């Protein structure tokens, strides 16, 4: 398998200006996969300038041409889906089934936005006074800085690359340091699909913050699209304010999952497993706080913990394993600390609660007796730990579900009418009713409150990379 471990600037793979590199680690066994080039400030500026130079021609490229390049990228990724998945398994640690699921989801953004590229909307209407024609066109917003996290190294990038390319923008992709190889592979795919030099650039600066701030301050950069933690998102919003850069933010979550009295427990257990264990729990959409009605609590816990205990844990390179590694030993230790804190605060470990001796694995875990507002309930766990709060009163459960600064996604299981009623009351950008997954390239993904600004995917996703222009013509 060919791995790309250099920067990609103006259509050239290149080492960083000072020829330094960082290790990319396989978290399943701690081995070094490769050393990736570190971008200097000069490299970052060169990437911005390449994107600036290539912008006029790419913006003027016919939508059909842009569309077909995106469709070709989708076709290449489809043909190479196992390579795509294996790179993610190696650098991120996820299980094979999670990697294949992500590869499938990630490549769909190229197909979806290939279709959206040729459907960019505009308007034409007469002013109320009849004195002019109001023409509203949409044009690409310009050079865009795309920053992505490690947990979904492919999908979080394609959810930005595809609409930006479809809109006619040029861009700099800055992946997470833990997972640059998935991004560099996708850049190679885009090059093979026919994306011209300079349109997409890849940099991995160290340190990150000051170099990102320099790129944001460059007058050519007009768009920031960030996926990552709320803490970093807040800092980036402050930096973006200095030059009034348009910012789209996909930030952290703390998803509640509510099982109402009368819920179908088969559905709740099956959906809950997907909502919790997809991507080993390292998902912004991961169900973080389980609120289970007392009438079904014991049965739910029994069935859920049986499913968790039956999971096979180990390297994703063995396709039979259900749960892979966390991305690093430090992420694993963070999860272990949250569990021991919860136990010290009175929670009971029903299953799991142990770290592996080797590799960054953590056992599938279920805790009961967790208190609303405790550290594990208020913190994004980002690991395979199910923390259960028992409730008696539905209104109180809804209040507790909304008692957070986050509002990305919520899950409700119950009789449909009651579940829909609760869904409408939840302060959340997305709500899953009687199911465990909502993500779909055709649906608007994004959060309320401090979980984000803007939406990705769907018809909204491309609008984040377009700017409206009103032209007045005398009638």
User: Which residues are identified as catalytic?
Assistant: 250, 284
Q: Are 201 and 52 contacting, i.e. CB atoms less than 8 angstroms apart?
A: no
- Of 231-239, 266-274, 332-340, 462-470: span binding ligand NAD (CB under 6 A): 231-239
Least Å from the CB of residue 381 to ligand NAD: 11
Among 227, 377, 386, 439, binds ligand NAD (CB under 6 A): 227
Burial 2-29 (b: 16+ CB within 10 A, else e): ebbbbbbbbeebeebbeeebeebbbbbe
Site for ligand NAD in 396-455 (CB under 6 A): 408, 447, 452
Cα(305)–Cα(313) distance, rounded to whole angstroms? 15
Token pair of 137 as six digits:
């066109």
Q: Does 466 bind ligand NAD (CB under 6 A)?
A: no
Closest CB to ligand NAD among 174 and 278? 174
For residues 277 and 384, the answer to whether their CB atoms sit within 8 Å is yes
Tell the smallest beta-carbon distance from residue 430 to ligand NAD (Å): 10
Contact segment (CB under 6 A) with ligand NAD among 51-59, 106-114, 224-232, 304-312 equals: 224-232
- Provide the minimum distance between the beta carbon of 392 and ligand NAD in the complex, in angstroms, as a whole number: 30
User: In the complex, which residue's CB is closest to ligand NAD?
Assistant: 228
Count Cβ atoms below 10 Å from residue 366 Cβ, excluding itself. 25
Kindly report the backbone phi and psi dihedral angles of residue 416, in degrees, each rounded to the nearest multiple of 5, phi listed first. Answer: -55, -45
Which helix (H) or strand (E) segment holds residue 187: the answer is helix 180-193
Q: Pick the closer one to ligand NAD by CB: 76 or 215.
A: 215
Does residue 105 touch ligand NAD according to CB under 6 A?
Answer: no
Query: What 3-state DSSP class applies to 374?
Result: coil
Torsion, Cα 357 363 365 370, to 10 degrees, reads 30
CB of 412 to ligand NAD, least distance (A): 20
Cα 138 versus chain centre, distance: 26
Is residue 349 a contact residue for ligand NAD (CB under 6 A)? no
Among 109, 112, 152, 304, binds ligand NAD (CB under 6 A): 152
Interface with ligand NAD, residue 147, by CB under 6 A: yes
Q: Does 158 bind ligand NAD (CB under 6 A)?
A: no
Stretch of residues binding ligand NAD (CB under 6 A), selected from 15-23, 221-229, 348-356, 363-371: 221-229
Q: Which segment (74-82, 173-181, 301-309, 345-353) binds ligand NAD by CB under 6 A?
A: 173-181
Q: What is the dihedral of CA 10, 16, 17, 21, to 10 degrees?
A: 180
Which DSSP helix (H) or strand (E) runs through 461?
helix 460-463
Provide, rounded to whole angstroms, the least separation between the CB of residue 32 and ligand NAD.
19
Under rule CB under 6 A, residue 148 binds ligand NAD: yes
DSSP string, 53-92: HHHHHHHTS-HHHHHHHHHHHHHHHHHTHHHHHHHHHHHH
Give the residue, chosen from 177, 214, 371, 449, that forms a contact with ligand NAD under the rule CB under 6 A. Answer: 177
Of the listed pieces 60-68, 75-83, 88-96, 229-237, which binds ligand NAD according to CB under 6 A? Answer: 229-237
Give whichever of 227 and 386 is closer to ligand NAD, judged by the CB atom. Answer: 227
Closer residue to ligand NAD (CB): 157 or 193: 157
Distances (CA, A) of 64 to 57, 198, 199: 14, 20, 17
Helix (H) or strand (E) holding 471: strand 466-474
Question: Residue 364 contacts by C-beta under 8 Å, 6 or more apart in sequence?
Answer: 277, 308, 309, 311, 313, 323, 351, 352, 384
Residue 232 binds ligand NAD, judged by CB under 6 A: yes
From the CB of 38, what's the least distance to ligand NAD, in Å? Answer: 12
Torsion on CA atoms 448, 449, 455, 458, rounded to nearest 10: -10
Identity of the residue, 215 or 363, whose beta carbon is nearer to ligand NAD in the bound complex: 215
Give the nearer residue to ligand NAD in terms of CB position, either 156 or 335: 156
Q: Kindly state the tokens that stand for 237.
A: 């919003």
Q: Which of 145, 350 has the CB closer to ligand NAD?
A: 145
Give CA–CA dist 387/409, Å, rounded: 17
Angle, alpha carbons 149-152-155 (nearest 5°): 105
Which range touches ligand NAD (CB under 6 A), out of 91-99, 227-235, 335-343, 389-397? 227-235
Per-residue tokens: 272: 């809950």
209 binds ligand NAD (CB under 6 A): yes
CB of 211 to ligand NAD, least distance (A): 8
Binding site residues, ligand NAD, CB under 6 A? 147-152, 156, 174-177, 208-209, 212, 227-229, 232, 235-236, 250-253, 284, 380, 408, 447, 452
């Amino acid at each position: 398998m060919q791995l790309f471990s250099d920067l990609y600037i103006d259509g050239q793979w290149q080492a960083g200006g000072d020829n330094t590199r960082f290790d990319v680690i396989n978290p399943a066994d701690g081995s070094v996969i490769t050393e990736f080039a570190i971008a200097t400030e000069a490299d970052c500026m060169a990437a911005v300038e390449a994107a600036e130079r290539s912008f006029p021609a790419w913006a003027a490229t016919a939508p059909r041409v842009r569309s077909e390049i995106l469709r070709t990228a989708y076709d290449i990724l489809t043909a190479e889906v196992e390579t795509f998945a294996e790179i993610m398994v190696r650098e991120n640690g996820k299980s094979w089934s999670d990697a294949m699921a992500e590869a499938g989801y990630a490549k769909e953004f190229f197909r979806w936005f290939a279709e959206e590229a040729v459907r960019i909307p505009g308007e034409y209407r007469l002013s109320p006074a009849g004195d002019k024609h109001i023409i509203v066109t949409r044009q690409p917003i310009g050079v865009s800085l795309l920053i992505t996290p490690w947990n979904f190294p492919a999908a979080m990038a394609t959810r930005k690359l595809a609409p930006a390319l479809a809109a006619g923008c040029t861009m700099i992709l800055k992946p997470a340091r833990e997972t640059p190889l998935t991004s560099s592979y996708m850049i190679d795919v885009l090059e093979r699909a026919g994306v011209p030099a300079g349109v997409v650039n890849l940099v991995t600066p160290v340190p990150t913050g000051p170099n990102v701030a320099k790129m944001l301050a460059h007058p050519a950069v007009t768009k920031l699209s960030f996926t990552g933690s709320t803490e970093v998102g807040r800092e980036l919003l402050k930096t973006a304010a200095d030059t009034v850069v348009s910012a789209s933010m996909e930030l952290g979550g703390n998803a509640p999952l509510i099982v109402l009295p009368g819920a179908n427990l088969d559905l709740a257990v099956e959906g809950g497993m997907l909502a919790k264990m997809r991507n080993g729990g390292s998902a912004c959409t991961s169900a973080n706080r389980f609120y289970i009605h007392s009438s079904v609590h014991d049965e739910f816990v029994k069935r859920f913990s049986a499913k968790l205990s039956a999971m096979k844990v180990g390297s994703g390179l063995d396709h039979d394993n259900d749960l892979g590694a966390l991305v690093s030993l430090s992420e694993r230790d963070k999860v272990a600390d949250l569990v021991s804190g919860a136990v010290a605060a009175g929670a009971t470990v029903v299953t799991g609660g142990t770290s592996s001796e080797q590799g960054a694995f953590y056992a599938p875990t279920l805790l009961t007796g967790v208190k609303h507002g405790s550290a594990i309930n208020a913190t994004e766990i980002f690991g395979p730990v199910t923390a259960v709060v028992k409730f008696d009163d539905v209104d109180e459960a809804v209040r507790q579900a909304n008692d957070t600064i986050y509002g990305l996604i919520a899950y409700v299981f119950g009789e449909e009418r009651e579940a829909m009623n609760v869904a409408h009351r939840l302060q959340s950008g997305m709500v899953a009713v009687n199911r465990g997954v909502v993500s779909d390239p055709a649906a608007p993904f994004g959060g309320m409150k401090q979980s984000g600004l803007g939406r990705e995917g769907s018809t909204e996703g491309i609008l984040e990379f377009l700017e409206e222009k009103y032209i007045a013509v005398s009638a």
